[in-house]
Every structure is written in C-alpha cells, then in structure tokens.
Amino acid sequence: MSKKLTEEQYRKTFSFRFRQWLDGTKDPYLGEVEMKKQKPFVEDAQTAAHRIQDEKEVEERAYDLEHNAEVRIFNRIYRVFAVAFCIFLVTMLLIGVSDLPTFGDAHNPANNEVAERYIEKGLEETGAVNIVTGMILDYRAFDTLGESHVLFIATCTVLILLRLDRKEDREANEADDRTHEPKNDVILQTVARILFPPIIIFGIYIILAGHLGPGGGFSGGAVIGAGLILYLNAFGFAKTEKFFTAKTYKVMSFAALACYSLAKSYSFYTGANHIESVIPLGTPGAILSSGLILILNICVGVVVAGTMYTFYCMFRKGGH
C-alpha cells in the first residue's frame, strides 16, 4: 500500500532532490562550497605602458627585418636547415637500428653470461624472488644509489626555482589562492576520503612486496605520492600540514638517503674487502628476507613519495 506524503515530506525525499538537481532548479553545492568569483586581471597604466614600450623596442631592434640582416638570414635558412637535419638524423638512426642484431634472437650479444647469472643465480645470491629488484638493489646497487640522488637533487632544484621564501610573497600568493580553485569541494572530499586510505595502503604494499613480486620503491613511492597529492587537493594545506610539512619532508628524505648510503657503504666496503656480510638473506619468499633489499626499497619509496609531493606543492603555489 502506498502512503500519501505531505508536500513537506515529499520535499525531503531523495527522488525529489534528485529531480531538482537533474532539472537544475537546485544547486547542491549552495552553502557547502566556498565559491568566489575569479579576480579579474587588472594591469595598472604604468606597467602596461612599460610593457608596450618593451615589446615595441624588442620588435624594432630584434625583428626589424629590414635592418637586421642576421635575423633575416637566420629566418630564411632556419626552417630548411631544421627539416634537413631532422631527416638526416632520422635516416641515420633508422639505418643504424636496421643493422642491429635481430630482436629476440637467442644468439644476440646481449644474451650472455651476465643475464644468465642474474636469472639462474639471482634468487640464491640476493634472496629476492623478483629478479629485477635483486638486480637494481643488490647487483647494481651503486647505479640505483645514484638514481635516488637524482630525484633528491631534482627536488632541490625545483625548490631553488619555485620556493617562495619571503613572507610577503607567500602572503600575496595565499591571498590570491581563491582565484585558482573552489575550496571544500564535496565530491572531491568524499571521493578522497574513500580512496586515500586504500591508495596509501596499496603503495605501502607495493614497497614492502618489492622483493617478492612486481613492485618496489620507485613504483610504490609514486603511488603514495599520488595519494598525498589527492588528499592535498581535497583538503588543502591546512589539513595536510598536520602530518606532512616541508620540515617533515627534509628530515624524511635525509633519513632515507642517509640510511641508504650507510647500508650500501657497509655492503660495498665488506664486498670490496672480501669480508663476509653478517646480514642474513633469509628464506626467499618471506617478507623479512633478501638482506638489505627491503630496507633499501623503503628508503627509495620514501624519497620518491616525498619528491612527487614536493614537486606538486611547489608547482601549485611555491610551497607553504
């Protein structure tokens, strides 16, 4: 038996609100999302005059084709030369590639004792079920040590370029922030609230299982970094800074890289001086196995996650 609803009751039902939303007669964000109109771009008269003057001067001096013979000649030959050069380079590379050993041939030079030992003895020597992890974090750990410092130094370079250190710059940026995005987006916040924990847990899983299956510090760190970026987008700096500030990043990346360097120094030193390493390899397949690889994966993961998050923060507003 159907029940008769009063209008007031009817207005509270889901179907009514859905219909309203569908028709566009009601905005569900009203009162929920902080909306502010974008500030119009206003240029004061003096700057505008300066800019126009500058542009005119550049136009006259550099691109005055009648009097600037260099630019004229350059413009004329540049396109022809660029196309010719590209065709030349592509032809050379294609010829080179066509003469390379056939892809997948068993007798290729690349199928030699090096790959053989990685595949046949990798598990036994490194204790990692995932041979690739064993290769990059044990056989050729020096390269990976360099590679993780590449990430670190890339972050530092972005900090040099984009970090706003003066307080007034930061405040001006903060005041201008509303022009970029609406705050407290309900959809984004709801989705982030649901997705954030699984993303982080999945990232941690990838890192911790790096020596057991596909995964490792680089990919797991990227997943965690993506999760942090999602959280930051949904809730803003005020909330993320409760657990992740610039200082946290500094300390974390230092700790991770220092731990990596020290662990590898130990293994390089003992290896070169023919001293038996005391670190047990454990049972292959167990979570606590394969010697230093697990620790190194965690270090790499921390560095990668920090790098991604810091890149995002810097490109977003020059930090906070």
Partner 1 sequence: MDFVQNFPFISILLSLFSGPLTSILNGKWAKRVNTLVITVIGFLSGAVLFYVLGTGEAFVYRMGHFPAPWGNEIRVGVLEGFMALFFCAVMLLCMLGGSAEREREIEDSKQNLYYIMVNLLLCSLLALIYTNDLFTAYVFVEINTISACGLIMIKQNGRTIEAAVRYMIMSLLGSGLLLLGICFLYDLTGHLLMSNIKEAVAELAATGQYHVPLFLSLGLISVGLAIKSALYPFHAWLPDAYGYSTVSSAAILSSLVSKGYIFLLVKIFYRVIGFSVVCDSKVINVLFVFGVIGMIMGSVSAIKEGEIRRMIAFSSVAQIGYIYMGFGLGTEEGIVASVYHILSHCATKSLLFVAASGLTDASGGSRKFPDLTGAGYRNKLAGVAFTVGSLSMVGFPMFSGFISKLLFAQAAMEHDRKMMITLVALAISTVLNAIYFMKTVIRIYTPAAKGYAHPDSRRIPLGEQPDKNLALVFFILLNVMLGLNSEPIVELIRKGLGMFS
Residues in contact with partner 1 by the rule CB under 8 A: 92-93, 95-97, 99-101, 108-115, 117-118, 125, 138-143, 145-147, 149-150, 152-154, 156-157, 159-161, 163, 165-166, 250-251, 253-254, 257-258, 261-262, 264-265, 267-274, 277
Q: Which CB atom, from 100 or from 288, has the smaller least distance to partner 1?
A: 100
Point out which residues pair with 183 in neighbouring strands.
34
Minimum Å distance from CB 210 to partner 1? 18
Q: Which CB atom, from 242 or from 274, has the smaller least distance to partner 1?
A: 274
Residue 273 has which token pair?
């001086």
Minimum Å distance from CB 96 to partner 1? 4
DSSP H or E stretch at residue 56 = helix 45-62
Length of the chain counted residue by residue: 320
> Around 19, how many Cα atoms within 13 Å sit in the side-chain half-sphere?
7
Minimum Å distance from CB 187 to partner 1? 38
How far, in Å, are 99, 151, 177, 216, 227 from residue 222 at the CA level? 37, 12, 27, 10, 9
Asked whether the beta carbons of 221 and 210 are under 8 A apart, the reply is: no
Q: Which CB atom, from 66 or from 165, has the smaller least distance to partner 1?
A: 165
Residues 218 and 304: their CA atoms lie apart, in Å, by 6
Q: Which CB atom, from 223 or from 257, has the smaller least distance to partner 1?
A: 257
Minimum Å distance from CB 160 to partner 1? 5
How far, in Å, are 57, 58, 59, 110 from residue 54 at the CA level? 5, 6, 8, 58
Q: b/e for 101-117, b at 16 or more Cβ within 10 A?
A: eeeeeeeeeeeeeeeee
Minimum Å distance from CB 263 to partner 1? 11
299 Cα distance to chain centroid: 16
In whole angstroms, how large is the CA radius of gyration of the chain?
A: 29
Minimum Å distance from CB 163 to partner 1? 7
Q: Which CB atom, from 37 or from 166, has the smaller least distance to partner 1?
A: 166
- Amino acid occupying residue 106: A
